[in-house]
Amino acid sequence: MTEKEKCRQGLMYNANYDQELINERIAVKDLCLEYNQLKNSDAENRNRLIKKILGKTKEHICIEPNFWCDYGYNIEVGENFYANHNLIILDCAMVTFGDNVFIGPNCSFYTAGHPLDAKQRNEGLEYAHPIKIGDNVWLGGNVVVLPGVSIGNNAVIGAGSVVTKDIPDHAVAVGNPCRIIKNVEENLKSS
């Protein structure tokens, strides 16, 4: 089994010394650099290039520079997707965003994790678990989403949160670690 196949199955794999994975990361980081250096007024080339970087997109998406990812092909974004400056997606596993997702500046999505055992870490071993973001989700600035997390539809994640566990539909969640503080629907009824 290749290191890439191990990764796709959620097993420990070697990302640091596998040439296939290294070459894929180099190729997409070159594309990200090219994307980040395009003028904002060059919408046609920005749109063309971001759709080349990402695995699957809908029609209307906007990712402000700077943007970095590990592979690109493991990222799917829905319609009306917007990410502010300095988005980082470590997409060793799938990262899926629904429709109408809004992401504040300096947000990060990390599918990769490392073993607690120093010997295994030093060998270059890691694991990757998918991240899923539902429809109509808003993530404030400086949010970090960790491996294996799902965020439900219509959820709001407050600025500076570190999301370590799943967040259900309609939740407003904040903090480090991120925790639910209220329900969006209940908040709308009381307004």
pLDDT (tens digit per residue) in 36-63? 999 999 999 999 999 999 999 999 999 9
Catalytically active residues, by annotation: 114
Contact 52, 71 (CB under 8 A): no
**For residue 82, pLDDT beyond 60:** yes
Tokens 């894929």, located at residue? 24
Least confident of 110-114, 133-137, 154-158, 180-184: 180-184
Q: Which three-class secondary structure state does DSSP give residue 74? A: coil
Domain that holds residue 160: 3-189
**For residue 191, pLDDT beyond 70:** no
Token pair for 176? 């480090």
> For the chain, how long is the longest CA-to-CA vector?
56
Give the model's pLDDT for residue 189: 60
Give the model's pLDDT for residue 184: 79
What percentage of the chain has pLDDT greater than the value 90? 92
Residues 6+ apart with CB under 8 A from 130: 93, 94, 95, 96, 111, 148
Q: What total number of domains does the chain contain?
A: 1
Query: Rounded to two decimals, what is the model's pTM?
Result: 0.94
**For residue 26, pLDDT beyond 70:** yes
Alpha helices, DSSP H, located in the chain: 3-8, 19-37, 43-53, 118-122, 184-189
CATH number for the domain including 41? 2.160.10.10
Measure Cα distances from 42 to 35, 38, 81, 85, 121 in Å: 10, 7, 19, 17, 42
Q: Is 167 left (phi over 0), alpha (psi -120 to 50) or beta?
A: beta
Give the model's pLDDT for residue 190: 57
**For residue 8, pLDDT beyond 60:** yes
Give the model's pLDDT for residue 185: 73
